[in-house]
Each structure stands twice: as structure tokens, then as C-alpha cells.
């Protein structure tokens, strides 16, 4: 008998919590939809008056003897999202392999050459964005060349997406990208902790992921940071966005490469469109939100068809349909 009123109070409390939870969920769905609309605003129209190259010429810097899949995934994803030309600048051992995966990619076997920086720099006037790191590996000589490539790219104001082993390099030398407002970093869980440790000289607070991403971005001089995970958390040191587009539980390797390659194109489109099209939000943050949503939607669609056997190639086959569903509705 004495439990009666207490049970009532518990039920009432549960109702309040459920309502608060469903309101928060509804709010975040509304936020997601609003941000997706901003992504739609930056997508250039397809037009018969444009020439080849106008919708994007993207370069991927990565690929070594061990890793040939990652730069391929990034470069082909850029094309599938809508870039017109996609280049890969890789170590010589990786080049024939990447070329054999696809006739659609332009592959330069230059990253381990003594004049690698010059070999890449001569292409920079013709590129709109670089994706640095997929399948790069951690060989010191290659990383030194990539350091030089980042320096000349910054000097020419080329937007750079930095992922995978490119983030390893940035963790060794944060000054390389500090304050460069055209850089986006896309760390996974491990890469984020490593960067946070290196830049903020202490472990991150795992109970405050929003705060951690915000602080890392600020400490890097407002470089845009995308922390990938169960929910993707994005910040430019001022604003924090969360992408929880439904994906799946399948965690095959290469999904991050799809994300970084897509982001290369979206960053170019967002900067071209400018802040008036993104309603005052940072164009790079909007681009990053678009790439996260797209990758997760590809994962969702591929999983519906292939279940546990889903691989990144299956996700890449979904890019067209996922793009239409999210951005062309
Ligand atoms: N087909 C290809 O060519 C591909 C090539 N790739 C290329 O490989 C290179 C290395 O990149 P990487 O991502 O494997 O990084 P790396 O620092 O060695 O860490 C690996 C270890 O970290 C951990 N771990 C990871 N995520 C975690 C999480 N969420 N939460 C917790 N732990 C987590 C996990 O540790 P474990 O579970 O084994 O203890 C895992 O073994 C890079 O060039 C990249 O581009 C990839 O792009 C894939 C496709
Ligand atoms: N637990 C999760 N649930 C749902 N989606 C996730 C989860 N973890 C990562 N993702 C999504 O998978 C994509 C790639 O993130 P991931 O953390 O796997 O990158 P990565 O480790 O760099 O991948 P790669 O194997 O290409 O190196 C992102 O779009 C992210 O949103
Ligand atoms: Mg990765």
C-alpha cells in the first residue's frame, strides 16, 4: 500500500523524462533537416553550359606499398559524388595497382620521388581541393614529402581534408595546419585521442565529446574537426554540429576513406557557394555535415542489401542513390 504513491511518482517522472527525450529527439531531427537543407544549397546545378572540370578537380595524396585500397576509395568517391576529375598522388609501388582498380582515376607515382613536392605543386593550380592521408603509411621520407605538399598547398590557399596517416603527421607537427581555415580534419576515435593528447597535452574527457571537439578545434586555431563515431561530432571552434544519420552496425574498413573523398568535393562546392548559401554557417562545417550524412546513408543502403557481407565497395555503389535521397529531394 505504501508503494502506491511512490509508484505514481515514478510513473510521472518517467513520463516527464520520456517527453523530454522525445522532444530532444524531435529537436535534433529538425536540426539535422535544417543542416541538410544548407548542404542542398551548396550543390552546383548540373548544366549543359559547363565544361569538364568545373564541378571539381580533386587530388588525393596517399597510397603506398601496403595500402592501395584507401586512396582508391577516397578518389573514386570524389568522382561518384560529382567531381569531374580525380587524381591520386601516391608512392611508385602503389601506382600500377591503383590504376588497375580503375581507369577513371589519374594516378601519379611521385610521392617517394626526391622532387615529390615539386611534382605535386605543379598540379596545384589545376586542383580545387586535396585529400591528404588515406593509405599514406608512416614512412618518414613520405611524411616529409607530404609536409612539403601541405606547406605549398597552404601557400596557394588550396582547401585540404586531412585523414588517416595525414593526421598522424599533424599530431607530430600541429603547427603545420594551425590556423589554416581551409583545413578539415576527419579523425576516427583513435586518431582523435592522439591529436587531442598532442595538441592539448592531456587526455580528452570522454564524457564530454562536444566540448572535446570544440576545444581541439579552438586549440588548432579554428580548423574544422570531424570526430567520426557512433554519432559524428563536428566543430569549427564556434559551432558544434552532430550528425546521427542512420547508418548500420557494419564497421568494415574504408568507410572513412569514402567520407574524406566525398568531403574533398563538398568542401570545394561549399567554398564556391560561400556563406550566403549556408545561411551564415561555416561552409566547411556544412560540407563536413554533408559528407558524414552521405557516408552513413551509403552504409545504411548497402547494409539493407548485403547485411553482414557489406563492404566499402558496396557503399560506393550506393553513392548516387544516397546522394539523390538526401540532397535532391
Ligand atoms: N583497404 C585499405 O587499403 C584501407 C586502408 N586504410 C589505411 O590504413 C592505415 C591505417 O589506418 P587505421 O585506421 O587502420 O589506423 P591505425 O592507427 O592503424 O588504427 C587501427 C587500430 O585502431 C583501433 N581502432 C580503430 N577505430 C577504433 C574505434 N572506433 N574505437 C576503438 N579503437 C579503434 C583498432 O585497434 P584494435 O581494435 O586492434 O585494438 C585498430 O586496429 C591508413 O593509411 C588508412 O588510410 C584504412 O583506411 C582502411 C582501408
Ligand atoms: N559506431 C558507429 N555507428 C554508426 N556509424 C559509425 C560508427 N562508427 C563510425 N561510423 C561511421 O563510419 C564512417 C567512418 O568512420 P570510422 O570511424 O569507421 O572511420 P575510419 O576508422 O577512419 O575508417 P577507415 O577504415 O576508412 O580508416 C563515418 O561516417 C562514421 O559516421
Ligand atoms: Mg581512417
Query: What mean pLDDT comes out for the span 37-46?
Result: 96
For residues 265 and 208, give the distance between their C-alpha atoms in angstroms, rounded to a whole number. 31
Residue 254 CB less than 6 A away from ligand 1: yes
- More confident call, 12 vs 92: 92
Please give the domain boundaries of the chain with CATH numbers for all domains.
Answer: 53-328 (3.40.1190.20)
For 277, counting Cβ atoms within 10 Å of its Cβ (0-12 exposed, 13-18 middle, 19+ buried), the class is middle
Average pLDDT of span 54-61: 96
The pLDDT-based confidence of 9 (bands split at 50, 70, 90) is: low
Ligand 3 mean position, distance from CA 156 (Å): 26
Rg of the chain over Cα atoms, rounded to whole angstroms, equals: 21
- DSSP 3-state assignment of 162? strand
247 lines ligand 1 (CB under 6 A): no
Average pLDDT over residues 97-105: 98
Flag whether pLDDT at 155 surpasses 50: yes
- Count CA atoms closer than 13 A to 284's CA, side-chain side: 25
For the segment 129-142, the average pLDDT, to the nearest whole number, is: 98
> Using 50, 70 and 90 to split pLDDT, how confident is the model at 19?
very low
Is residue 106 over pLDDT 90?
yes
232 Cβ below 6 A of ligand 1? no
Answering whether pTM is above 0.90, one says: yes
Measured between alpha carbons, how far is 294 from 170 in angstroms, rounded to an integer?
Answer: 26
Q: Are 37 and 273 in contact (CB under 8 A)?
A: no
Least confident stretch, 21-25, 64-68, 83-87, 260-264 = 21-25
Paired with 234 in beta bridges are 226, 241
Q: Give 165-225 as a DSSP string.
A: HHHHHHHH-GGGTTT-TTEEE---HHHHHHHHHHHHSS---TT-HHHHHHHHHHHTTS-EE
What percentage of the chain exceeds 90 in pLDDT? 86
Query: Which residue, by CA, sits nearest to atom 32 of ligand 1?
Result: 190
Task: Judge if the beta carbon of residue 189 lies within 6 A of ligand 1.
Answer: yes
Integer Cα distance of 226 and 288 in angstroms: 7
Closest atom, ligand 1, to C-alpha of 229 = 29
Q: Is the CB of 311 under 6 A from ligand 1?
A: no
pLDDT tens digits for range 248-294: 999 999 999 999 999 999 999 999 999 899 999 999 999 999 999 99
Atom nearest to 251 CA in ligand 2: 18
Task: Using pLDDT thresholds of 50, 70 and 90, give the confidence band for residue 10.
Answer: low
| Residue 32: per-residue pLDDT | 83
Please provide the average confidence, as pLDDT, over all residues in the chain: 93
Burial class (CB in 10 A: 0-12, 13-18, 19+), 285: buried
Q: Whose CA is nearest to atom 20 of ligand 1?
A: 190
**Each residue's pLDDT tens digit, 107-129:** 999 999 999 999 999 999 999 99
| C-alpha closest to that of 258 among 71, 67, 62 | 71
Point out the ligand nearest to the CA of residue 133.
1
Amino acid at each position: 500500500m505504501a508503494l502506491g504513491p511512490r509508484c505514481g511518482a515514478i510513473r510521472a517522472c518517467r513520463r516527464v523524462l520520456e517527453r523530454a527525450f522525445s522532444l530532444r529527439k524531435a529537436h535534433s531531427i529538425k536540426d539535422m533537416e535544417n543542416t541538410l537543407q544548407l548542404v542542398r544549397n551548396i550543390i552546383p546545378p548540373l548544366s549543359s553550359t559547363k565544361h569538364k572540370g568545373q564541378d571539381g578537380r580533386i587530388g588525393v595524396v596517399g597510397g603506398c606499398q601496403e595500402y592501395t585500397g584507401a586512396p582508391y576509395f577516397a578518389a573514386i568517391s570524389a568522382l561518384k559524388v560529382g567531381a569531374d576529375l580525380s587524381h591520386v598522388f601516391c608512392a611508385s609501388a602503389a601506382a600500377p595497382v591503383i590504376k588497375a582498380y580503375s581507369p577513371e582515376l589519374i594516378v601519379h607515382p611521385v610521392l617517394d620521388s626526391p622532387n615529390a613536392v615539386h611534382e605535386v605543386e605543379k598540379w596545384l593550380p589545376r586542383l580545387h581541393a586535396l585529400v591528404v592521408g588515406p593509405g599514406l603509411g608512416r614512412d618518414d621520407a613520405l611524411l616529409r614529402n607530404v609536409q612539403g605538399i601541405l606547406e605549398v598547398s597552404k601557400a596557394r590557399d588550396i582547401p585540404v581534408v586531412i585523414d588517416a596517416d595525414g593526421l598522424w603527421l599533424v599530431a607530430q607537427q600541429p603547427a603545420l595546419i594551425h590556423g589554416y581555415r581551409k583545413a578539415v580534419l576527419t579523425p576516427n576515435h583513435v586518431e582523435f585521442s592522439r591529436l587531442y593528447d598532442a595538441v592539448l597535452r592531456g587526455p580528452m574527457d570522454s564524457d564530454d565529446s562536444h566540448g572535446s571537439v570544440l576545444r581541439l578545434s579552438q586549440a588548432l586555431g579554428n580548423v574544422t574537426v570531424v570526430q567520426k563515431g557512433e554519432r559524428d561530432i563536428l566543430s569549427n571552434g564556434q559551432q558544434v554540429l552532430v550528425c546521427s544519420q542512420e547508418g548500420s552496425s557494419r564497421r568494415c574498413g574504408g568507410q572513412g576513406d569514402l567520407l574524406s573523398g566525398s568531403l574533398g568535393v563538398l568542401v570545394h562546392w561549399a567554398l564556391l557557394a560561400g556563406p550566403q548559401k549556408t545561411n551564415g554557417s561555416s561552409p566547411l562545417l556544412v560540407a563536413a555535415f554533408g559528407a558524414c550524412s552521405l557516408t552513413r546513408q551509403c552504409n545504411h543502403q548497402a547494409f539493407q542489401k548485403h547485411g553482414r557481407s557489406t563492404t566499402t565497395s558496396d557503399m560506393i555503389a550506393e553513392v548516387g542513390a544516397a546522394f539523390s535521397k538526401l540532397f535532391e529531394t
